[in-house]
Amino acid sequence: MRELMYLQAINEAFAEELERDEKVFLMGEGIQTGTFGTTTGLVDRFGPDRIMDTPISETAIAGAAVGASLMGYRPVADLMFSDFMYICADEILLKAAQWRLMQGGTQKLPCVFVANIGGYRKLGNEHSHCPYSMMLHSPGLKVVVPSTPYDAKGLLKTAIRDNNPVIYLYHKGLLPVIGEVPKEDYTVPFGKAAIRREGTDVTVVAISFQLFWVEAAAEMLKDEISVEIIDPRTLEPLDIDTIMTSVAKTGRVVIVDEDTERCGFAAELATQIMEKGFYDLDAPIKRVCAKNYPIPGGIMEKFVLPQPEWVVQAIKDVMVD
């Protein structure tokens, strides 16, 4: 076992899958130079035919990936910022998501759409979204949100080997995070949540980068509140069983999600918990999410995106009888 940065784990996953399967190739804007470090050096090893820089046209990138996957390849379409997925929504939501189902499962569609998510970098509204609720609203897509270097690599390898379209969303705030990553080949299964911290008083479900706010809050409150932290790792498929087992133990729930509060993933998860475990709940479910505003740039960002103190307060609030 050795330690790698999150971005290095992603880069290594790409390299290993490119080496393992000649049908795998990457395409996207600026990937030969590696804008965020996740594809740095790959073109030197695998050449421009498999690490293909593209014009700035998200619709063309996504559409080409769908077409290549239908012809038996395993393309990875790097769309840079997840906000740009709105531009190519037709290719992802109406074609990639639905074509395999519309063909009765007879046609494989093994493509991966990779993009970064999240704020806390003061980049403004068009470079700071977490738009996975839009993806989840389109049946046929798998949605992956790794929060550690170990998961970043293992889940990406699983995504590339899957015969269905996968949305792989890495948080730009996690890129420099260091963690243990095995040298040997491994994958992380979809639909299996991770219990990051065991506790007895409250279940906190933390999505992607928000795991770090929650871990800090749990440590701050450890002498008064026992916090159990659940990291879903994939939002589709969702491991609702692990979450419900925790809820049955603690009776209290806080969901921490960087997506917008209204109609976001946290709202969906809160509803599922209520429907499946209403009588296990000892208090109303609390959500800590982005406010229902466009994400501003500069110092104003902190008034919209979840902050550590919001998480601490929500945990305290849900404990009030």
Residues with a known catalytic role: 127
Contact at 8 Å (CB) between 75 and 111? Answer: yes
Rounded CA-CA distance 7/40 in Å is: 10
The amino acid occupying position 188 is V
From residue 233, how far is each of 6, 211, 280, 283 by CA, in Å? 14, 11, 24, 26
Task: Name the token pair of 101.
Answer: 């189902």
Rounded CA-CA distance 311/217 in Å is: 7
For residue 238, with 0-12 CB atoms within 10 Å meaning exposed, 13-18 middle and 19 or more buried, which class applies? buried
Between CA 283 and CA 292, with CA 287 as vertex, the angle to 5 degrees is 145
Rounded CA-CA distance 238/201 in Å is: 23
Greatest C-alpha distance within the chain:
62
From residue 103, how far is each of 97, 140, 143, 306 by CA, in Å? 12, 12, 21, 41
Q: Cite the beta strand spans of the chain per DSSP E.
A: 2-5, 24-28, 51-53, 74-81, 112-117, 142-144, 166-171, 178-181, 194-197, 202-206, 227-231, 234-236, 253-260, 286-290
Helices 240-250 and 265-277 meet at what angle, rounded to 10? 60
